[in-house]
Amino acid sequence: MQEAAIITLKKHELSVTDTRKKILQFFLESAGALTHADIEQQMGEAFDRVTIYRTLQTFVEKGIIHTIPSADNAIRYALCKDNCAAGHHHDDHVHFLCNDCGTTYCLDHVSVPKIKLPKGFTANQTDLVVSGVCHKCEA
């Protein structure tokens, strides 16, 4: 069943290609966020590395996925919720990064508090990243 992926692609005015379907499907099936490496591994030899880069880029531009800040070097991508439109600053997320297994969780139910900024500063997006140990990895 990959209807959902196709519908999402069409909704965002993207051609429906094999690569896009498979990668989007992978996101839909994954609980957390994915790095480029995760996807490359999962897809095996099926697609060129370059294609994956470009697909992720496209998805970000169209507002299908968004990037999650992290202190380590890896860019993580996660599905946007429906109300998340391209170009706009999205709804602000709270993310949890497990230091043990490396999984990134989107904590949708927790809301990001408003931060009071110094004069002259304008907030556009607020990212809150909590790192620690997730429920699967606790001793």
Toward its own copies, which CB reaches closer, 11 or 88?
A: 88
The residue written with tokens 């497990």 in the block is 98
CB of 88 to its own copies, least distance (A): 13
- Residue from 13, 29, 50, 73 binding its own copies (CB under 8 A): 73
Element (H, E) at 39: helix 36-43
Chain length of the chain: 139
Q: 52-69 in b/e burial notation, b at 16+ Cβ within 10 A? A: beebbebbbebbbbbebe
Q: Among DNA, its own copies, none, what binds residue 127 when CB lies within 5 to 8 Å by partner kind?
A: its own copies
- Give yes or no for residue 48 binding DNA (CB under 7 A): yes
In single-letter form, the type of residue at position 114 comes to K
Measured in degrees and rounded to the nearest 5, phi and psi for residue 67 equal -90, 150
Residue 16 interacting entry, from DNA, its own copies, none, C-beta within 5 to 8 Å by type: DNA
Of 51, 70, 103, 131, which lies in the binding site for DNA, with binding defined by CB under 7 A? 51
Binding site for its own copies (CB under 8 A): 67-73, 75, 94, 96, 99, 107, 110, 113, 115-136, 138
